[in-house]
Amino acid sequence: MTTTYLQKWNLDNLFSRDTKSISQATNKTIEFSIDSLSKDILILEERLNQTKEIASLVLSLQEIEMQCNEIESYIGCLLAQDVTDLKAVQWNDHLSSLKSSIENCSNKLNALLLNLSDVELNLLLKDKSIQPIGFLVQERCQWAKQKLPIAQEQLVNELSIDGYQGWERLYEATMGQQLISYQDGKTTKELSVGQAENKLTNPDRLIRSTMFKKLENTWQSQENSFAQILNHLGGFRIKVYQARGWNSVLHEPLYFNRMQKSTLDTMWDTVKNNKTPIQSYLNKKAKLLGLTKLSWYDVEAPLPTNSQQTISYNDAADLIITQFHVISPDMGKFAEHAFKHKWIEAEDRAGKMPGGFCSHHPKSKESRIFMTYSGTTNNLFTLAHELGHAYHGHAIRNLPYMAQQYRMNVAETASTLAEMIISDSILKGTKDPIMRQSLLDNKLQRAVIFLMNIHSRFIFENRFYEARKKGFVTSVELNQMMTDAQKEGFCDALGEWHPHFWVSKKHFYITDVPFYNFPYTFGYLFSMGIYAMSKELGNEFEKHYNALLCDTGRMTVEDLAQKHLGVDLKQPLFWQNALNSVKNDVDLF
């Protein structure tokens, strides 16, 4: 008998929903710990550094950061499931103040680390309690050297609460209030942005084009307000970078991704040299849809042969559990646990934030997945994608919290691998040539996203920051900049563009992760190397894969690739081999 899985998540075992629970968690636990840590740092500042005591401070900070992340993840879930939850908005605002205090403690601790001699630092790194997070401690020292004096960094953190981070919260609040009218037969419905965007994959082109125009009109009516948000967020970031002496806006995102500029350049250069096959795919798809050229809203449209197919949530769950189990029994058991224990919010309803995410709750050693499931194939892949993220968190759950801090590029590796597992499993089980073509279309849609769409975002964001250095960038200029970036990223393969994409895509407004674009492409291509490893290792793959995941938070991506895949990411060969598999899929299509 098939299990029926509920589409609403359970948050109750993370925190009680009442105000008292959150207040106690923040005020009594974290605030007390921050105050205690600040006093301990102050005492140590007034005498010669003691490595044992510094080790204790590092571990205290680690515990505070873990507690803060636990609460932040919970509040993020509350805000996502109900954009009108004003109590969660208040908690989130208070949390921003706590995070600023934690960052100030972190900066003070970094100053202590910088004052250590080489001999003292080596003694600290040899401490048994520090050894599991030694890489992270060294990384802290290197990063602290590149930042402002501590008093100035503290001021930046305090101003960020109502400045930098405030603009991001304004974007989220504004976006969450948007409702898009939709005529469903004789009934007019008010859709959230997430629900409206799901209509862009509808098999009926009239529905797709109508919804696309509605969304574009909505963004156009508020483009000047969103331009203010993006400009002030970007302006704040630029001023801080300039004060720190950073000439490139990529300095921070490269550090955040533990990635060298030469690796990024090699990846993009190889991608740019391999777009011709994807153009051929887009041209072929246009013909199959009876079009001269695809428009933006046609790229993820189903082929006519598969236009009526939907996948129930239960069927999607069963498929994912089964196919994860084939490649890794532990992955299969984990996915089943997530479905059974209601870790997933997938209900198709108004009032939710758009998009999808996976939040990790390190103290509870659990994850929660958020999305809006409406039965499309893309929804299936999104569900698998987010479960890939969740499995990553599961694999590292017993590591020290600091060693769990993997970067966004490798974060997208586990999730993209999960998509590939589902995509290829469906493809292999299908003999009908028309259905196979439809499945290949779904697979190649993701190649378009990672190699063209994401590339256009990277181009846009680079150009926006260069323009912002010279002054305010108007909504008209942003629209043109976005269109030009899309034309370049897609090699002018589309007939209609999405000029207000800079409004609709939250990633441009995320303050914690600047340039939240190239990590997706990295993860997509890097996961192909891991997928190839799975085919070579067979039953031994699970052990090697979990070992790789456990190292994602404690080494650079170059070292990770060399250790576990035996490849040099600064050379084009690895990237070319990954892109060859995309070409093979195009040939099959």
Radius of gyration of the chain (CA): 24
Q: DSSP labels for 310-351?
A: ---HHHHHHHHHHHHHHH-HHHHHHHHHHHHTT-EE----TT
Find the largest Cα–Cα distance for the chain.
77
Together in a domain, 438 and 569? yes
Question: What letter would DSSP give residue 49?
Answer: -
Q: What's the confidence (pLDDT) of residue 1?
A: 47
Q: What's the confidence (pLDDT) of residue 21?
A: 61
The answer to whether residue 356 is domain-embedded is: no
At 48 the three-state DSSP class reads coil
The distance in angstroms from the start CA to the end CA of the chain is 36
Gap between the Cα atoms of 59 and 52, Å rounded: 11
Q: What's the confidence (pLDDT) of residue 551?
A: 97
Q: DSSP labels for 504-529?
A: H-GGGG-SSSSS-SHHHHHHHHHHHH
Together in a domain, 92 and 189? no
Q: How many domains does the chain have?
A: 3
Together in a domain, 157 and 227? yes
Contact yes or no for 82/352 (Cβ under 8 A): yes
59 closest CA partner among 154, 2, 128, 139: 128
The answer to whether residue 34 is domain-embedded is: yes
Q: DSSP labels for 220-281?
A: HHTHHHHHHHHHHHHHHHHHHHHHHT---TTHHHHHHTT--HHHHHHHHHHHHTT-HHHHHH
Pull the structure tokens for residue 446: 């993701």
Q: What's the confidence (pLDDT) of residue 51?
A: 79
Together in a domain, 109 and 198? no
The answer to whether residue 528 is domain-embedded is: yes
The answer to whether residue 367 is domain-embedded is: no
Together in a domain, 46 and 136? yes
Gap between the Cα atoms of 562 and 551, Å rounded: 12
Pull the structure tokens for residue 36: 């205690």
The answer to whether residue 337 is domain-embedded is: no
We report the CATH number of the domain holding residue 34 as 1.20.140.70
Cα-Cα-Cα-Cα torsion 381, 579, 562, 513, nearest 10 degrees, comes to: -50
278 closest CA partner among 541, 585, 563: 585
Q: Which one of 91, 118, 146 terminates a domain?
A: 146
Together in a domain, 229 and 292? no
The answer to whether residue 98 is domain-embedded is: yes
Gap between the Cα atoms of 533 and 434, Å rounded: 30
The answer to whether residue 267 is domain-embedded is: yes
Amino acid at 357: F
Contact yes or no for 454/518 (Cβ under 8 A): yes
Together in a domain, 466 and 576? yes
Together in a domain, 548 and 575? yes
Pull the structure tokens for residue 259: 């990635």
Gap between the Cα atoms of 582 and 440, Å rounded: 10
Together in a domain, 192 and 49? no
Q: What's the confidence (pLDDT) of residue 576?
A: 95
Together in a domain, 127 and 158? no
Contact yes or no for 135/129 (Cβ under 8 A): no
We report the CATH number of the domain holding residue 505 as 1.10.1370.20
The answer to whether residue 96 is domain-embedded is: yes
Identify the H or E element spanning 182: strand 180-184
Q: What's the confidence (pLDDT) of residue 306?
A: 54
Task: List Cβ neighbours of 271 (8 Å cut-off, separation of 6 or more).
Answer: 451, 455, 521, 575, 579
- Pairing of the two strands 366-370 and 187-191: unpaired
Together in a domain, 268 and 235? no
Together in a domain, 200 and 292? no
At 575 the three-state DSSP class reads helix
Q: How far is CA 466 from CA 221, 397, 462, 471, 485, in A?
A: 26, 40, 6, 9, 14
SS3 content of the chain, % helix, strand, coil (to 5): 70, 5, 25
Alpha helices (runs of H) in 82-180, residue ranges in sequence order:
86-114, 118-126, 134-144, 150-162, 164-176
Residue range(s) defining the domain that contains residue 156 = 152-239
Pull the structure tokens for residue 419: 């998509």
Q: Which one of 113, 130, 146 terminates a domain?
A: 146
Q: What's the confidence (pLDDT) of residue 83?
A: 84
Which residue in this structure is represented by tokens 């996948």?
Answer: 311
Gap between the Cα atoms of 448 and 258, Å rounded: 25
338 closest CA partner among 387, 284, 404: 387
pLDDT 10s per residue in the chain (589 long)?
468 899 999 998 887 656 556 656 665 667 767 777 777 777 666 565 577 888 998 999 999 899 889 989 999 999 999 988 888 888 888 888 888 888 888 888 888 888 888 899 999 999 999 999 999 999 999 988 899 988 898 899 889 988 899 999 999 889 888 889 888 888 888 888 888 988 998 889 999 999 999 999 999 999 999 999 999 999 999 999 999 999 999 999 999 999 999 999 999 999 999 999 999 999 999 999 999 999 999 999 988 875 457 889 999 999 999 999 999 999 999 999 999 999 999 999 888 888 889 999 999 999 999 999 999 888 999 999 999 999 999 999 999 999 999 998 998 889 989 999 998 888 888 888 888 888 899 889 989 999 999 999 999 999 999 999 999 999 999 999 999 999 999 999 999 999 999 999 999 999 988 899 999 999 999 999 888 888 888 888 999 999 999 999 999 999 999 999 999 999 999 999 999 999 999 999 9
